[in-house]
Structure 1
Amino acid sequence: MPRRTRPWVWAGRVLFGVIVVALAVHLVVVGLDEADKVASGISAVVALVAVGTPYLLPPPSPGGVPTPEPDRSEDTGAAHATGGGQANTGLQAAGVERPAQIARSGDATADGPGSVANTGVQLRRRA
C-alpha cells in the first residue's frame, strides 16, 4: 500500500486543483450543452475503468494479514490450589484469540471443590 507522505499529499492536492480549474474553463469555453455530452462519455469510461481496475492490479502479497507473535511461557513450575483457590503459573488471558506456546510446563494440582490450578494457557471470559 502506498505511503501518504507529505510530498504525495501535496501533489494530490495540486492535481485536484488543476482538474477543478480545467473543468471550470471547459464549461465556460464549450457551453453547458456540449459539456454535458462530453461529461456523459467521460463518466461511462471512468465507470468502466473503476469496475475493471481490481482485475488489472497485481494480486495481494501472499500471507494476507500478519499473524501476531505468540505469547510464550516456559519452565512454569508447579501450581497447587486448595480450598477453592486458584493457582496459575502459565498464561492467563481474558478472551484473547491469539497464538500461545507453552514449553516445559510444571505440574498442576487442584484439591477441593472450586479449586483451579493451571500451568498452561487459561482463557477467561471477558467481563
Structure 2
Amino acid sequence: MNHRQLDYFRQKLIQWKAALKKESEEKTREVLQSHVDADLTDMATREYDTDLTLQACNRNDELALEIDKALQRIDEGLYGYCEETGEKIGLGRLKANPVTLYCIEEQERRERQQKLYNSSDPYDEDL
C-alpha cells in the first residue's frame, strides 16, 4: 500500500472514531436530559431507552478500540495485511471495513469453521 492510500485510511479511521465519540456523547446527553424531565410513569420507558443507549455506547467504545488498533497497524507498517496469512487485504475490503484484520479468503475460512463448530452441537436448536 502506498503512502497516499495509508493517509486515506488513517484519515478515514480518525474521522470515524471522532464521529463515534460525538454520537456517544450526544446519546448520553439525551438520556441524561430525559431523566431530568421524567415522571414515574415514564421511568420504565426511560430505563429501556437508557439500556439501549448504553449498549450503543459500548459498541461504539469497542469499535473505537478496533480503530485504535488499525491506526497502530498503520504506524507499524502492518495495515492492509491479513493477520493470519500475511496476504494483502484488498482495497475494496478495507474501504468497506477499514478495521478488518483478515483477507477475504481467511475471513471466509473462519466463518466456515465457526459455522461447523456451531452446527456440531445437536442440542443447539433446543436452546
Tell which structure's C-alpha radius of gyration is larger.
Answer: 1
TM range (shorter): 0.3 to 0.5
Higher helix share: 2
